[in-house]
Amino acid sequence: MDCLNNVSTLRENIMNAAQLPVAEHKVRCIAITGGKGGVGKTNISINLATSLSKLNKRVMLLDADFGLANVDVVLGLNPEKNLLHVLENQCSLKDILVDGPDNIKIVPASSGVKRMANLNSLEQSGLISAFSELGDDLDIMLIDTAAGISDSVVHFARAAGEVIVVVCDEPASIADAYALIKVLSKDYSVHKVNIISNQVESKAHGEMLFNQILKVINKYLDVSVNYLGSIPEDSYLKKAVKRQLAVTTAYPRSRSAQAFKDIAKKINSKKSEENSSGNLEFFAEQLVQLN
């Protein structure tokens, strides 16, 4: 009941202070995460964003790694301001948006997760309002979380309406991905996740990784798991990384670019969860309350 009252109060603050209507346009919020670092989730986040944009979706990518932000580094961007400046009322969320490849918009990460964890009620309302303002200009927001299973990672994954977990062929990757899914399931009632196998030798290899984690999940957790597909090892992907470009932009006919295109089509064909309000206001409300 207290949680519901908090949500109601935050909404009233938005309406009274900013006179902004609650956005009716549905925006899918999808967190892309992994149990450990080095599984390639940032590269996947960028290339899925560009692939979805090519399907005529208005896409925004939020760099949610407040400790080691790297979306801007991977793409060779130099943002002047980030989310911290929004929280400190130095500018609006629209002011910090950076243009990425294929018309995607990027929200640069702020520095210091502790700052996000100690927002007062006015700042909470401001953050919710800031995201809500973008609702009518957006179809999908992808959230590139930090590595590991820290509170920050769990909070962003829980706040999003959908979760994609990236795994690769390493024991630590499988074990930590399972640990993350377990925490989301047991502590935050997240009972649906999507899996992408990365850096695989073949489609069969990707399916093997998926079945490996699926077997453990089915045995111990009450979680519905959906396999989105795999991204192959590809020399063109490595070339694109060195050039600080999305492979879907630099080498659109490569094997990896085609794999991203196929996964983006699956995501695009899937409707957002009915039990989620499916908009940026919901995402921001969940984020500030979980923190």
* Alpha-carbon Rg for the chain in angstroms: 18
- Strand pairing partners for 111? none
Which of 200, 202, 161, 170 is closest to 34 using CA atoms? 170
pLDDT, one tens digit for every residue, the chain (291 residues): 444 444 454 445 444 434 444 445 688 999 999 877 778 999 999 999 999 999 999 999 998 876 667 888 889 988 888 877 887 778 888 899 999 999 999 998 765 556 655 666 666 666 667 777 777 789 999 999 888 777 778 888 888 889 999 999 999 999 999 999 999 999 988 999 999 999 999 999 999 999 999 999 999 999 999 999 999 999 999 999 999 999 999 999 999 999 999 999 999 998 655 444 446 767 777 766 655
Burial of 275 (0-12, 13-18, 19+ CB in 10 A): exposed
Q: What is the pLDDT of residue 151?
A: 77
pLDDT in tens, 214-266: 999 999 999 999 999 999 999 999 999 999 999 999 999 999 999 999 999 99
8 Å CB contact between 20 and 129? yes
8 Å CB contact between 60 and 107? yes
Residues 145, 148: Cα–Cα separation, whole Å = 9
Give the global pTM.
0.85
Residue 36's contacts (CB-CB under 8 Å, 6 or more residues apart) are 147, 148, 170, 172, 173, 176, 177
Q: What share of the chain is helix, strand, coil (3-state, %, to 5)?
A: 50, 15, 35
Phi-psi region of 148 (alpha: psi -120 to 50; beta: other; left: phi over 0): left
CA 179 → CA 32, 36, 48, 81, 201, distances in Å? 15, 10, 25, 34, 25
Phi-psi region of 273 (alpha: psi -120 to 50; beta: other; left: phi over 0): beta
Give the distance, in angstroms, between the CA of residue 75 and the centroid of all CA atoms in the same chain. 17
Could you give the count of Cα atoms lying within 13 Å of 180 in the half-sphere of its Cβ? 37
Q: Which tokens is 205 given?
A: 């290899």
Residue 144's contacts (CB-CB under 8 Å, 6 or more residues apart) are 32, 41, 42, 45, 46, 61, 62, 63, 64, 65, 71
Complete domains list, the chain, with CATH? 2-290 (3.40.50.300)
Residue 219's contacts (CB-CB under 8 Å, 6 or more residues apart) are none
8 Å CB contact between 72 and 214? no
